Amino acid sequence: MEQYLFSLDQPVEDLGAAKVQPNLWLLTSEEMPPLLFTPEEIARLLHVGRSKVYDLLRTGELRSVKVGGRRRVSAKALADFVNGLDVVPSW
């Protein structure tokens, strides 16, 4: 089951411990996590170059939306991309 840091409609399962989920509507703009990332922010998060991010966007490996004339990547699209990576041991 997928779990997200913030969920407005997903019920919290009873796992024997209390879970506190922040109410997004009560957070200030400084407290709220980013919902959309720029390609430059994605490059920093993934530790790759900006051109690699644009390659991932162009090929559709990393989903994005257009806001005005600029590309943005949602937090969910980034999480889906990372979860879809094959992890191969380096040893």
Cβ 53 vs Cβ 42: under 8 Å: yes
The CA distance from 78 to 80, in Å, is 5
In whole angstroms, how far apart are CA 68 and each of 17, 42, 58, 71, 91?
A: 43, 19, 18, 8, 45
- Tell me which residue range forms the domain holding 39: 33-82
Residue 9: inside a domain:
no
For 74-87, write each residue's pLDDT tens digit: 999 999 999 988 77
Mean per-residue pLDDT over the chain, rounded: 80
Reported pTM: 0.63
Q: How many domains does the chain have?
A: 1
pLDDT value at position 66?
94
pLDDT value at position 11?
54
Domain CATH for 39: 1.10.10
pLDDT value at position 57?
97
